[in-house]
Amino acid sequence: MSVLTTNRLVRAAAGLAAIVVLLVVGTQSGPYQAQIASLAAIYVILASSLNLLLGYSGLLSLGHQAFFGLGAYVSAILTTEVGMPMVLGMVGAAFGGLVAGLVLGKITLRLRAAFFVIATFAVGEMGRQVALNWVSMTGGPMGLSGIPPIGIGPIELIEPELVYPAVFAVALVTVLFVARLAKSGLGYSLRGLAENENLARAVGIDTARHANLAFMVGGAMAAVAGSLYAHSVGFVSPEVFSFSVMINTLLMVIGGGLGTVLGPVVGAIIFTQLPEALRFSDEWRLVVFGLILVLVVRFLPRGLWGSLTAYASSWRTSRVGKRSPEPDADPPEGQPAPVRARDEEGVTR
């Protein structure tokens, strides 16, 4: 058995063990911890969708929570007002996020540098204002209640210990999808787009099309996360469009590991559980949480998972000696794409 095959088997076994541990811990720790674990799984989907834009494409979007809120409201309206089953509501939310990503991508991707960031921030705020003021459709500040729980047909999952495996399964499929996409032609094209847009265009990559595809896929994934949130909580309000959702997701991506597949997973789990673990001191909870974030950014600039993989790679190199990589070797994780900042001529800075 070759070393490459052995390494793949070890990684597969480690991944399977991690899946089993996460399922057991989430379902056997009581209703409260199961609810927190479900929220962490939802944030895994949302953080992975943002990582697709920021980590792989280098697109710093500060309005990504708009897709999350859109998915929550679309799924809630389709199931409560139209009477669709929960699964069809989630599919409708994903389609809504896909279309919104297409439209917003066509508009915002024409902008440059800070103008792009400001435009995406404005989109998120627009979504919150629409949810607040379109009372006949969204319920206004009171939101929408009576949203059916997660389920298929007559089977409804109400207990948190039953909701978590369902949300976990969707999060697992999302992570596997991102891993496959990162190794596909689209994934490599997005990295090339982030590294040097003009060079990518010179070698035949349709940069505008690929960037728009990233917006569409990321929007659909975020909308699925919003749909799961609405059905797991049973209530949705304009707070799903709040900028705090965006900040939390951004911290999970950067703190976990920008431009890596498992970085957002690690970030979502840790930064969802950490505030709960610090509740023993209400007065100092946010202070300690902020200090931990500062230390992570200062001493682990690649994030928790990105730094871990970088250290592991350095350790292996020191053991076996320096050797040139194979011509078709995959690029190592933990090296995020640079955030795009272009001037008026489109030259990457």
Segment 121-174, tens digit of pLDDT: 999 999 999 999 999 999 999 999 999 999 888 888 888 889 999 999 999 999
Q: Which fold has domain 18-320?
A: ABC transporter involved in vitamin B12 uptake, BtuC (1.10.3470)
Residue 21 has pLDDT above 50, yes or no: yes
pLDDT tens digits, one per residue of 30-80: 888 899 999 999 999 999 999 999 988 888 899 999 999 999 999 999 999
The residue assigned the tokens 């795009």 is 340
> Does residue 185 or residue 74 have the better pLDDT?
74
CB 99 within 8 A of CB 252: no
**Measured between alpha carbons, how far is 194 from 341 in angstroms, rounded to an integer?**
9
Tokens of 225: 């996360």
Per-residue confidence band for 348, with pLDDT thresholds at 50, 70 and 90? very low
The residue assigned the tokens 């000696």 is 321
In this predicted structure, what is the pLDDT of residue 339?
60
In this predicted structure, what is the pLDDT of residue 347?
47
Residue 284 has pLDDT above 80, yes or no: no
> Does residue 326 or residue 3 have the better pLDDT?
3
Tokens of 349: 């800075």
In this predicted structure, what is the pLDDT of residue 322?
53
Tokens of 107: 């508009």
How many CA within 13 A on the CB side of residue 94? 15
Domain boundaries, the chain: 18-320
pLDDT tens digits, one per residue of 296-341: 878 888 888 888 888 877 777 777 655 555 555 555 555 566 665 5
Name the H helices within 234-302.
243-256, 263-277, 285-299
Q: CB neighbours (10 Å) of residue 144? A: 22
CB 186 within 8 A of CB 64: no
Per-residue confidence band for 178, with pLDDT thresholds at 50, 70 and 90? very high
For the residues 230-246, what does the mean pLDDT come to?
93
In this predicted structure, what is the pLDDT of residue 73?
96
**Packing angle of the helix pair 113-133, 86-108 (nearest 10 deg):** 140
HEC assignment per residue over 265-279: HHHHHHHHHHHHHHH
Residue type, 225: A
Per-residue confidence band for 22, with pLDDT thresholds at 50, 70 and 90? confident
In this predicted structure, what is the pLDDT of residue 204?
84
